[in-house]
Amino acid sequence: MEATSASLTSCFPQMRVATLTTPDDFDGWRDAARALAGARVPPSEVVWQVGDQPTDLFGDEAVVETPAPFRVPRPFVDLARTVVLHADPERFALLYTLLTRVLAQPKLIDDRADPLVRRLDEMAKAVRRDIHKMRAFVRFREVTDDDGQERYVAWFEPEHHIVRENARFFVNRFTGMRWSILTPELSIHWDGEALTEGPGASKADAPDGDPIEEVWKTYYSSIFNPARLKVGAMLKEMPRKYWKNMPETALVGSLIAGAQAREVAMIEKARTAPGSNIAGAWEALREEAMGCTRCDLYKHATQVVFGEGPVDAKLMFVGEQPGDQEDQAGRPFVGPAGQVFDRAVAQAGIDRAEVYVTNAVKHFKFEQRGPRRIHAKPGTGEIEACRWWIGQERALVKPQVTVALGATAARSLLGRAVTIGRERSKPIPLPDGGEGWITVHPSYLLRLPDKVQAEEEFARFVEDLRMAAARVS
């Protein structure tokens, strides 16, 4: 940090006002902080203000001698350069407080457990996020200048003072365009050769749309893939407050709402069309599922474990998720729980080869404990993400009865939390005209320590399956 002149005003015997030119004036803050710290002025005796903003202090101008040069850790300078862009009015005072502490303890800047360091670090992260949002969500619209030349204008509402910091990015990216970015605080303009600034604007000063937007909307609609949709992640990366400035987001709501209906209609058409190939439609659905990234479980699981069985099965079984052996084999119910399931199905008089078996969640969720992968219960978000696939499987197979094995499967089937004891062993009408049936998951039987109880519960499980099968006409 090099020492230069700074505007410091003495208001009371021990109070100084440091005046900065703009809200993002890092150089001004650095110079003032350098002078104040060199004069050993405590943070409690400094008031920071921007421009001519009013202050409740007043006084005569005071002269602060230029101090001897001193050095601070580079990470502090980088942190300060970013935090100055934050909208928090206390940012300058907080940074100066940390500066005085870092001068006494240089390694403090690396202590993320320190409350002040942690707070400033979070502020820096917020600024970097806002910089990213501006780069991602600015949408230019074509207009014609008074001289007949084309110009592209965009409107953006940043949360922090990032416009000047981001200007060079847009110059480098759109060097050959003549453009303006309007924001409430200030506007920046590029004429192909020079970057200039102007006063803040309002959204009314920006154009509403142009023919290019219609082309972009058509393209966005055509590439929209509901199988790849992760609404939670989308909202995290693209908050709704930015939607109003982005033409394609006007389509998102209807695309999401209509996605499943369109897919179900497509599958129904494939089922009923003359010469239709349901097996081919199912294979296409399975192939699409192999690339599913709707939740983060795909990052660690070996593969998607899709359903299997006749695509015209009248009875469907839905489990929770693949286990370790299923994850490796790529088939549902082949591990220990699958062996219990096979034995129960056989005793219930059901031929497994004639039923469709799948899981509510298609990827294996686990905790790594040494060489072992221990089953972990899927969360609500993961269940909801996979409900799209279950909906397509049921729309394609059209089972008369769908048996949910366990609470996770029941939640996937009904779209709500379910108490097994309350809903078990009774038919539940489903919106598509089919019938639901809820019982325990076979893994529950494996966890029972008492042998007598385990046998009793297994017999009850078999009876549940027998009753479900009897509901099939």
CA torsion 71→76→79→82, rounded to 10°? -20
| Domain 277-470: CATH superfamily, name plus number | Uracil-DNA glycosylase-like domain (3.40.470.10)
Question: What is the reported pLDDT for 5?
Answer: 42
Question: What is the reported pLDDT for 123?
Answer: 96
Q: Hey, where are the domains in the chain?
A: 7-132, 138-205, 211-259, 277-470
Q: pLDDT digits over 161-213, tens only?
A: 999 999 999 999 888 888 999 999 999 999 889 999 999 988 887 776 544 44
What's the whole-model pTM score?
Answer: 0.49
- What mean pLDDT comes out for the span 269-293? 75
Q: pLDDT digits over 300-357, tens only?
A: 999 999 999 999 999 999 999 999 999 999 999 999 999 999 999 999 999 999 999 9
